[in-house]
Amino acid sequence: MTKVLVGYYSQTGNTARMAGAVAEGARSAGAEVTLKKVEEVTLDDLVAADGIIIGSPTYYAQMAAQVKMLFDRSSEIRGRLENKVGAAFTSSASPEGGNQTTLISILECMIIHAMAVVGDPMETGGHFGAIAVGDPDQRSLETCRKTGARVARLAAKLSS
């Protein structure tokens, strides 16, 4: 069974609600999903996953330090995430508050791990992944579900 890890950091619940929808989407596409706060994600979780989807609030137009810490820890497993499918999602307070640069900051780390990253085909205009502004609305949650399903389907193809 294809394994998808959804890791997120959330202080006030917006990114956590997005993470729930991403996980639901991945499950609907047949994946076995692990949904965890980034502080609880282990290096073994990363290695075991076929798809890794990471969510962060937008902090100063970048990922939160707690999320960066997971990527910093992952330097210990350089080479072992190659060809896994990756995607990112974020919640910001403002529509032009740096949500896209936050997604890119996450995708950059995945690319450095030689993961195969996917973006968003114009569903919310996020381009680089799912975005919610404040409390995620139905449109954002639907994009999150589609992101989870997209990663699960591609990861199934790549790992078969």
Q: Which amino acid is at 4?
A: V
Per-residue contact flags (x/-) with ligand FMN for residues 73 to 92, judged by CB under 6 A: ------------------xx
Residues contacting 159, CB < 8 A, separation 6+: 2, 50
Nearer to ligand FMN, 71 or 89 (CB): 89
DSSP state of 54: E
Phi, psi for 143 (deg, rounded to 5) = -65, -40
CB of 20 to ligand FMN, least distance (A): 12
Rounded CA separation 37/22 (Å): 13
CA 82 from centre of chain: 16
- Applying CB under 6 A, the site for ligand FMN has a residue count of 19
Out of 51, 59, 128, 154, point to the residue binding ligand FMN (CB under 6 A): 59
Residues contacting 106, CB < 8 A, separation 6+: 54, 56, 63, 67, 71, 88, 90, 129
Q: Does 105 bind ligand FMN (CB under 6 A)?
A: no
Nearer to ligand FMN, 97 or 119 (CB): 97
CB of 37 to ligand FMN, least distance (A): 11
- CB under 6 A: which stretch of 26-34, 52-60, 80-88, 145-153 binds ligand FMN? 52-60
Contacts with ligand FMN, residue ranges (CB under 6 A): 10-16, 57-61, 91-94, 97-98, 134
